[in-house]
């Protein structure tokens, strides 16, 4: 009996000692785990922060993108015609030339507005030019001194029996998308009838 009690006591003591060792082993391990987590978190920060400068560069990149040349305006253009285009069936074909007289490049794109007028400050006479869409619209970049050209057709007013003839001093020309105009002196005959169209104009092309 005595040996059994001693044996049981020894077993219990051994179990208690083993449990104590396990608790002792678990106790220090917690600070070690927390200690390694903190450096790990700090070391991860530098690897994620470089993304911020890349994102901040985007606005500065778009801000430095050139806007491109402005549209040509009447204030920095001169107008002339070249009647070398010939004529057919009572019509005269000529080149309407606009030259960049400014100090910066500008863009000439589309159709000008053209009409006959009594004088430099006068109102249009009859109908304005219709668009001839035979030639497609193109971007015509004019450096200072360069010229863009469009085909202008004038039909003789005398071809129309119902034309109310009147004298025109020349052409009023509006560059594409401009509300200011140029006056091109070129005396000719016009029809004051708004239902008679004497002019047609094409899109600008490089000269």
Considering the chain, what is the average pLDDT of its residues? 78
Q: What is the pTM of this model?
A: 0.66
Domain made up of 70-206: CATH architecture: Sandwich (2.60)
Three-state SS annotation for the chain: CHHHHHHHHHHHHHHHHHHHHHHHHHHHHHHHHHHHHHHHHHHHHHHHCCHHHHHHHHHHHHHCCCCCCEECCHHHEEEEEEHHHCEECCEEEEEEEEEECCCCCEEEECCCEEEEECCCCCCEECCCCEECCCCCCCEEEECCCCEEEEEEEEECHHHCCCCCEEEEEEEEEECCCCCCCEEEEEEEEEECCCCCCCEEECCCEEC
Q: Pick the residue with more confidence: 167 or 22? A: 167
**Is pLDDT above 60 for 15?**
no
pLDDT at residue number 48: 43
- Mean predicted confidence (pLDDT) in 95-107: 97
- Mean predicted confidence (pLDDT) in 133-138: 95
Closest CA to 205 of 154, 152, 151, 153: 151
């Amino acid at each position: 009996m005595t040996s059994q009690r001693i044996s049981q006591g020894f077993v219990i003591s051994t179990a208690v000692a083993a449990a104590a060792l396990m608790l002792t082993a678990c106790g220090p391990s917690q600070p070690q785990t927390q200690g390694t987590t903190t450096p790990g978190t700090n070391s991860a920060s530098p690897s994620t922060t470089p993304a911020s400068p890349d994102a901040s560069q985007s606005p500065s990149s778009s801000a430095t993108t050139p806007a491109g040349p402005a549209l040509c305006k009447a204030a920095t253009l001169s107008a002339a015609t070249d009647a070398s285009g010939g004529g057919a069936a009572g019509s005269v074909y000529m080149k309407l030339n606009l030259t960049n007289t400014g100090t910066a490049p500008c863009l000439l794109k589309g159709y000008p507005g053209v009409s006959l007028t009594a004088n430099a400050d006068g109102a249009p006479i009859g109908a304005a030019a219709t668009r001839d869409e035979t030639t497609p619209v193109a971007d015509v970049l004019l450096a200072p001194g360069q010229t863009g050209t469009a085909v202008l057709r004038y039909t003789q007013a005398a071809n129309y029996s119902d034309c109310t003839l009147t004298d025109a001093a020349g052409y009023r020309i509006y560059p594409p998308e401009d509300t200011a105009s140029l006056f091109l002196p070129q005396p000719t005959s016009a029809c004051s009838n708004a239902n008679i169209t004497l002019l047609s104009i094409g899109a600008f092309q490089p000269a």
